[in-house]
Amino acid sequence: MIRSFVRTTVPMLGLAIILGAHIPLWAANDIMGEIQFVGPSKAEKTSGVWVDGQYVGYLKELKGSKKVVLLPGQHEITVRQAGYHDFTQKVILEPGQKHVIQVAMQKNPAAQYPDATAQIKMSVSPNRAAVFVDDQFVGHVDEFDGPGQALLVAPGKRRVKVTLPGYRTFETELNLLAEQKFELKTELFKGSILQAGPLMNEKDSDVARAK
């Protein structure tokens, strides 16, 4: 499947988040809160999730060893999907509380997609990393690396970023022709969550969609 994206923004803020496998011993008590995500369809399950401005993963993977565990207090949750309006919700977590968020994505009728396209095939590890084109979230690698899967983008110069918490952001610029097929191969290196950098800006875009 190839799919399209629309552009939105959230500023990068300090994030007090721990993904399951990295929870320190002191957090294994009743101090930390947990957010659980529920989405009824593929649109929700494959959407990207941000907590306080930091990308943490796509919705259906944020459970078990990758569950979202946060310090008590107020947090802003944003869920994004190409071609859909952002889903945003502020939550206040109490110590030891489990908060369930029912995510419902709504299609954006104003979303625009390119007529002429080039095709980018992804071969990136880890394949759960988020993909951005011209600073716009378009999905995660796993959606663009299988048989019959690819990312369609408008021809011309395109800035492609691949990022994941705990890894260094990969960034490259491509100059693509209409109907060109390009394979992007790379492996993300371990690094600090702070090395992800800002990933969104304010303007909508019509430069990409998914196959």
Q: What is the pLDDT of residue 159?
A: 95
Which backbone phi and psi does 142 adopt, to 5 degrees?
-60, -20
Q: What digits encode the pLDDT tens for the residues 55-70?
A: 889 999 999 989 999 9
State how far the Cα of 8 lies from the Cα of 82, in Å rounded to an integer: 10
Q: What is the pLDDT of residue 28?
A: 52
Q: What digits encode the pLDDT tens for the residues 12-58?
A: 333 444 444 444 444 455 789 999 999 999 999 999 999 999 888 99
State how far the Cα of 84 lies from the Cα of 93, in Å rounded to an integer: 27
Tokens encoding 147: 């048989």
For 109-124, what is the mean pLDDT?
90
Length of the chain counted residue by residue: 211
Higher-confidence residue of 164 and 25: namely: 164
- Contact between 32 and 18 (Cβ < 8 Å): yes
- Side by side, the strands of the sheet bearing 68-70 are 17-19, 68-70, 33-38, 98-102
- Contact between 164 and 100 (Cβ < 8 Å): no
To the question of pTM greater than 0.95 for the whole model, the response is no
Q: What digits encode the pLDDT tens for the residues 94-115?
A: 999 999 999 999 999 988 888 8
Higher-confidence residue of 172 and 199: namely: 172
- Which position has the token pair 């303007």? 203
Please give the domain boundaries of the chain with CATH numbers for all domains: 2-7+110-210 (2.60.40), 17-102 (2.60.40)
